[in-house]
Amino acid sequence: MGKIIIALGALGLVVGGLGVASKWSQLGLLNSVDALLTFDAPASKVASGISFGPEARQKLDVWAPTSPAKAPRDVVVFFYGGSWNSGDRELYGFVGRALAARGYVVVLPDYRLVPEVRFPGFVEDGAAAVAWVQKNISTYGGNPARIHLSGHSAGAHIAALLTLDPHWLKLAGAPAHSIRSFAGLAGPYDFLPFTSDASKAAFGQMPDPKPSQPITFAAKDAPPMLLLTGSVDTTVKPRNSTALASAQSKLGAPAHTLFYEGLGHSDILMAIARPFRTKAPVIDDIATFFDGVR
């Protein structure tokens, strides 16, 4: 009971602090509240700060169900967003808990950020993380032949490129055939010309910007895709999801959009956390999609 009271008080700070506290302090508080409200969830962090490369930000965490399994579990690699210039895997435990509670082994990687790197540095890090997963995830009960990629915002952009442009995984020594599906939340997939400061900083140096756009690599043989977006997202407009889904569908590849009425860019992510799941059934929809992939 005490934990619930503390969580409700903290939840009030999350809601009341919107627009006052920084985005990252809000996420940290949201993650803490989610942890309090899901203290009895059948999931736990089983590895923390594992290096998948030599750089300081090339580290990842692993979450897994606490119940035993008769067979290796499907794996979800989730890349957080942050305009390619910010973010920290430790703020996203609520994503790891939510997906692990649904039966997946979940990997949350960090990656190098602007201005330390620009495109394709963060995509290369994403590929290196997936390569680590393929080689090591069986130690944590995961199936290296059944990896689902996911992410929010800039993280969805990274995951989409890894799904559609096989040369990134090939360069990292990771066979692309183990990627079973992609679920993107509010991802930028078709955002030329670069108009925001963040996109100019991350991609503006490219003589040819088309390789930075996931839609450039629309492919008939791509894994199934679920592209989720909020109807009032003004940060990454819903047209990104509809454009990629249309390009894939025209090629005969399975791709579907899912719109949440009244949700903005951050809302779709917050809805994964226990305190805000009444906003939209995001975690249910993602799990249903992954479960249906064969």
Of the residues 150, 153, 181, 266, only one is catalytic, namely 153
212 is catalytic: no
Q: Is 48 in the same domain as 31?
A: no
Provide, for the chain, the percentages of residues in helix, strand and coil under a 3-state DSSP scheme, each rounded to the nearest 5.
45, 20, 40
Q: Is 150 in the same domain as 14?
A: no
Residue 22: the pLDDT is: 76
Q: Is 26 in the same domain as 72?
A: no
Q: Is 20 in the same domain as 160?
A: no
* pLDDT band per the 50, 70, 90 thresholds, residue 239: very high
- Rounded to whole angstroms, the Cα distance separating 113 from 121 reads 8
Q: Is 58 in the same domain as 178?
A: yes
Q: Is 63 in the same domain as 120?
A: yes
pLDDT, tens only, 209-222: 999 999 999 999 99
- For 176, the domain range is 42-291
Q: Is 25 in the same domain as 54?
A: no
CATH number of the CATH domain containing 278: 3.40.50.1820
Q: Is 14 in the same domain as 66?
A: no
Residue 10: the pLDDT is: 46
Q: Is 132 in the same domain as 2?
A: no
- Rounded to whole angstroms, the Cα distance separating 248 from 222 reads 8
Helix segments in 119-230, DSSP class H: 121-136, 154-164, 167-171, 197-203
Residue 24: the pLDDT is: 76
Taking Cα atoms as reference points, which of 118, 133, 188, 186 lies closest to residue 157? Answer: 188
Count: domains in the chain? 2
Residue 158: the pLDDT is: 99
pLDDT, tens only, 63-83: 999 999 999 999 999 999 999
Residue 12 has pLDDT above 80, yes or no: no
